[in-house]
Each structure stands twice: as C-alpha cells, then as structure tokens.
Amino acid sequence: MPWHPPAARPRAPVKVLLLFVIPCIAMTAPARFYPIGTPGQPWGAAEKAEWRARQTVQRSYAADVVTVIDRLRGRFDVESYGELDYGTDGRYPLFAVRSRNWNPDLPVMLVTGGVHGYETSGVHGALQFLEQRAADYAGRANLLVVPCVSPWGYERIHRWNADAIDPNRSFRDNSPAQESAALIRLVAPIRDLARMHIDLHETTDTDESEFRPALAARDGKPFEPGEIPDGFYLVDDSGNPQPDFQRAVIAAVEQVTHIAPADANGEIIGSPVVAPGVIEYAFKPLGLCAGVTNARYTTTTEVYPDSPKATPAQCNDAQVAAVCAAIDYALAHA
Ligand SMILES: [Zn+2]
C-alpha cells in the first residue's frame, strides 16, 4: 500500500519514529500505516471521500442476493423495507422475508445477515436457511429474515457503509447509518414480541489486515494488532447472558465446523472466553444489531471463512446450523 510522501507531513522526532517502527517489525505483514489520513488525526470529509473513492464494486447484490429473494416469493412474503441512497454509487432496495400466514399467537424469530456486507456467509447463510430450512417452521414460529442489511458493503466487500460508518455500531436512536435506521424501523413492531434474534457475522483475516487498521486511522488512534481466532464462535449479550442458549447453538455448529479455541490469554479477539466458543459484548450500549430487539435469546455468530479447514459451503452450513439451533432452543424454552 502506498503511503503519503514524507514531505506531506511534519518530521517526527527519532524517538517517536522508533516507537512506530519497532512494533511494525514485530508484527506480521499487514500492520503498517493506513494509506489515508494523518496518523493520530481523525478523518474529516476529505479523508472519508478519499476512502470512498477507493472502494470498487466487486460483486452484485442484484445477481447474488435479490435473485434468490425473488425465487422465495412463491413461499414467503417478501417486503421491501426501504432503500439506501448513495448518490453516484446507486440506490439499493432493502428486503425482508417473512413467514406466510403470520400468526400473532406464535413466537417471533428474527434472523439478520450482512449487517457487515463483506461477511459473505452471513448473507448466503441466511438465504440458504430460507431456501432449505425455513419452511420447516411453518405453523410453529413467525420468521422475519433480513439476509443483507448492508448491500453497498456487500458489493464492495467492506465492513462500513458508504459514509465510512460501521452499521454494527449504529443501532441506536437517530442512527447515523441508513442501514441501521432502516432495520430499526422494520423491527419496531416486533421489538418486544421477538423471542429470539440471531445476527450472522464472520471474523476474517481482513479484519486484521484492513478493517481494524482503517478504523484506527479513521478515528486517529494507534492500531493495536490482535489475533484472528481459527474457528467459529458466538457473542452473547453481557446485559442479558443466556449461556444455555449459546451452548445449544455451539453444540449444533460443532457438528459442521470447528469451534475457535481461546488464545493464550483465555480470550477471543480480546474478550474473555466465558464458555467454549463464547464471548460477551454489551449489545445495546455498543449499538450492535443483536440488541435491536428486546428478545430474550440473542446471539451473534462469527464464522471464520479464512480457515484452511473450512470451505465456503461449510461456512454457510455453519450459519444455517446456528439459525436452526437458535430457533429450536427458543421454541423449546418459552
Ligand atoms: Zn461482522
């Protein structure tokens, strides 16, 4: 990656340079200055525009996602719940898929994917669940499935939206992210009715090589290198922990793919492992999608697609296994 020419920035004293250089040598390949902005200074409009200009379309939301949703119209109710408007980058209709014959006497189960558009198996796992397994729950649960919350990010294989905002830190009132605001509006009527919500994600090698360095650069903070765990894990809500529910989901997924071990500190991505393959985050205070309802049972899946031990099909299968186990548990525990 090109770096800004030295003339563009003030000379740093030798001591400061050493502080930067030594950790860079110790780290593996990706850790270096992010090519946009000035280290230590949060991005302004110019840096965000520079970042956005670098993002190119690499795959098609219409071809990969909307065509699959269209095929489901004969069996499910498909609803367009809004549209992202990103000017010259285009407009993106947003789709939710519901159980036909929605029955107010049945529990509501919410499945979301593609809140981070680059996390491929979140999107395709949700679609695969709809195509292969969702019909099994007819007459037992009301399903609301949103396969691709962030289509702009899906096409550019990026974590952020076009405004350099992470939708999965933006589930709050007056959200700055169009994607999050639209989903909040969609689920408002079921906010207190949903019994279960599973939000489908991935943890990828590009988190460490691109997205975490970009985040540090955007916010004017130093990049602290971390470790990407090899395997699947779940994030439970520290504000509403449901360990038995998480355990049931892990038990189903480990039939399909391997579960991430704790690192030498007993952690996964910097958080203590509270049970095999489970860490906790505070969903609502962090503005995470998995806190968008008041459901009793909530979790976030984290599939690792870059493992030499996992194929893309296995990643999708892991997401489907997680969704089914989550629904089954919630059906069995009213
Ligand atoms: Zn994610």
pLDDT tens digits, 86-97: 999 999 999 999
Q: What pLDDT, on a 0 to 100 scale, did the predictor assign at position 301?
A: 98
Residue 50: C-alpha distances to residues 2, 3, 195 (Å): 14, 13, 43
**Quick one: tokens of 6?**
């030295």
> Has residue 29 got a pLDDT over 80?
no
> Which residues are within 8 A (CB) of 122 and not within 5 positions of it... i.e. 6 or more apart?
113, 114, 115, 116, 200, 201, 202, 301, 303, 319
Domain boundaries, the chain: 38-332
High-pLDDT (> 70) share of the chain, %: 90
Hey, which residues does 95 pair with through a beta bridge? 80
Cα distance between residue 100 and residue 76, in whole Å: 5
The CATH class of 38-332 is alpha beta
Ligand 1 center–CA 115 separation, angstroms:
7
> Has residue 214 got a pLDDT over 60?
yes
Ligand 1 center–CA 201 separation, angstroms:
4
For residues 235 and 300, is the Cβ–Cβ distance under 8 A?
yes
Ligand 1 center–CA 164 separation, angstroms:
15
Cα distance between residue 74 and residue 71, in whole Å: 7
Ligand 1 center–CA 108 separation, angstroms:
23
pLDDT confidence tier of residue 32, bands split at 50, 70 and 90: low
Ligand 1 center–CA 105 separation, angstroms:
32
Residue 237: C-alpha distances to residues 81, 295, 318 (Å): 27, 11, 20
Ligand 1 center–CA 14 separation, angstroms:
38
Residue 137: C-alpha distances to residues 4, 103, 132, 302 (Å): 55, 12, 11, 24
> Has residue 17 got a pLDDT over 70?
no
Ligand 1 center–CA 45 separation, angstroms:
25
**Quick one: tokens of 319?**
């997401």
Q: What angle, rounded to 10 degrees, do the helices at 243-253 and 312-332 form?
A: 140
Is this structure's pTM higher than 0.75? yes
Residue at 17: amino acid letter: L
Of 231, 173, 176, 182, the closest CA to residue 202 belongs to 231
Q: What pLDDT, on a 0 to 100 scale, did the predictor assign at position 20?
A: 41
- The mean pLDDT value of the chain amounts to 91
Ligand 1 center–CA 114 separation, angstroms:
8
Ligand 1 center–CA 203 separation, angstroms:
7
End-to-end CA separation in angstroms for the chain: 53
Q: What pLDDT, on a 0 to 100 scale, did the predictor assign at position 14?
A: 38
Ligand 1 center–CA 101 separation, angstroms:
32
Q: What pLDDT, on a 0 to 100 scale, did the predictor assign at position 33?
A: 74
Q: What is the pLDDT of residues 216-227, one digit of tens each?
A: 999 999 999 999
Ligand 1 center–CA 168 separation, angstroms:
7
Ligand 1 center–CA 202 separation, angstroms:
5
Q: What is the pLDDT of residues 315-325, one digit of tens each?
A: 999 999 999 99
Ligand 1 center–CA 17 separation, angstroms:
33
